[in-house]
Amino acid sequence: MSAVPVSIGVRMTGRSAVAVAGVAAHDTSGVAEPGSPLVDTHGRVHRDLRISLTDRCSLRCTYCMPEQGNEWLARSSILSLDEIERVARVAAAAGVTTFRLTGGEPLLRTDIVDVVRRLSEIRGPEGTPVELAMTTNGIRLPELLPGLVDAGLRRLNISLDTLRRDRFHELTRRDRLDDVIAGIAAAAASGLRPLKLNAVAMRDVNDDELADLVAFALANGAEMRFIEQMPLDAGHTWDRSRMVTRDEILHALSARWALTPVPGRGGAPAERWLLDGGPATVGVIASVTAPFCGDCDRLRLTADGQLRNCLFSTTEYDLLPIMRAVPGASADPSEATVDDDIDRMLRSCVHGKLPGHAINDPSFLQPARGMNAIGG
């Protein structure tokens, strides 16, 4: 345990409700000791850290961001490369084995190759290399991918909701389908596997293209994965009655392929099916109609240094006061003390994780942050 007062900050979502509190501000009894795995009170072991590198994006997908008037995170609050590496290193020491870089659009970060290189050099307690993956819109992949692979990137998920240019333009408010397709081609040629393409299934937007998207993924050596639309849009316009469900997706695909469930999902968000007996597969992430919270092993770090234990959480655990000198602090904490405090904050965040996200509960409250500021 650290000898200095531990800054365990619980920041309620909503910028005004920041409270950097002492340990007593929330119940941390039963928080596991440093060195032990990140196990929550429901027995889930946390192995996956989603790291959002920026809330900025080159697209404006309607289900994610507003076209205009987005409140960007303050540039001064965005974690530096050193700060990101530091949190990742402490997380790896606590048993995290996978880092997934996301955003916003992670490839907009000017130091992205350095981020990948520094994170890929991190080792777990037994010297095991971490697995480094990225979720991207693919637009900058043609220019950046060789450097990213050289730096240690191992897996890619690329978002593609439609193959039709007019729809893409309408949906993302940018005319960049050709750039995304070029990014997918670069990823396919790079040999990084498994390569996954993600589409949010939307009624009267792309639900007539589901099979075409699967065929496109197959032609590029990728797995198509459909995501049920979640209430994470900046405009808070999500409507359950309008969302395309897992069962509807499977029904549409079964008109073209025989679908056989793939067993052994573990903590993965996607349920997978073999297409016509395999080996090709398709995945569905049914966060709304078939939540998989019971096996969730994920934590999130936002670009502005907030730890979150769930996409839908309304509580954040603020790492900034730990990593940056607090005005008026009597003494600079040592490096080891800062790492200890980050470790304690990780454990506190895990300890506070609820059994499920409660989207289906009438009392569900959408988080104030849009998906681009949480990290998808």
Please pick, from the candidates 98, 162, 198, 315, the single residue that binds ligand SAM as defined by CB under 6 A: 198
**Is residue 372 close enough to count as binding ligand SAM by CB under 6 A?**
yes
Task: Convert residues 352-371 into a mask of x (bound to ligand SAM by CB under 6 A) and - (unbound).
Answer: -------------------x
- Of 106 and 333, nearer to ligand SAM (C-beta) is 106
In angstroms, give the least distance from the CB of 161 to ligand SAM.
7
In angstroms, give the least distance from the CB of 193 to ligand SAM.
18
- Of 230 and 259, nearer to ligand SAM (C-beta) is 230
- Of 66 and 95, nearer to ligand SAM (C-beta) is 66
In angstroms, give the least distance from the CB of 336 to ligand SAM.
34
In angstroms, give the least distance from the CB of 180 to ligand SAM.
9
The CA distances from residue 117 to 80, 81, 165, 359, in Å, are 14, 11, 35, 37
In angstroms, give the least distance from the CB of 160 to ligand SAM.
9
**Is residue 181 close enough to count as binding ligand SAM by CB under 6 A?**
no
Q: How far apart (Å, rounded) are the C-alpha atoms in residues 38 and 111?
A: 29
Q: How far apart (Å, rounded) are the C-alpha atoms in residues 40 and 58?
A: 36
**Is residue 137 close enough to count as binding ligand SAM by CB under 6 A?**
yes
CB 351 within 8 Å of CB 28 = yes
- Of 73 and 90, nearer to ligand SAM (C-beta) is 73
Please pick, from the candidates 7, 54, 98, 159, the single residue that binds ligand SAM as defined by CB under 6 A: 159
In angstroms, give the least distance from the CB of 57 to ligand SAM.
5
Task: Convert residues 223-262 into a mask of x (bound to ligand SAM by CB under 6 A) and - (unbound).
Answer: ----x-xx-xx-----------------------------
Q: How far apart (Å, rounded) are the C-alpha atoms in residues 247 and 154?
A: 32
**Is residue 105 close enough to count as binding ligand SAM by CB under 6 A?**
yes
Please pick, from the candidates 8, 11, 103, 313, the single residue that binds ligand SAM as defined by CB under 6 A: 103
- Of 162 and 315, nearer to ligand SAM (C-beta) is 162
Task: Convert residues 36-65 into a mask of x (bound to ligand SAM by CB under 6 A) and - (unbound).
Answer: ---------------------x-----xx-
The CA distances from residue 128 to 37, 301, 343, 353, in Å, are 15, 22, 19, 27
**Is residue 135 close enough to count as binding ligand SAM by CB under 6 A?**
yes
Kindly list the residues in this chain that would bind ligand SAM in the complex (CB under 6 A). Answer: 57, 63-64, 102-103, 105, 135-137, 159, 198, 200, 227, 229-230, 232-233, 371-372, 376
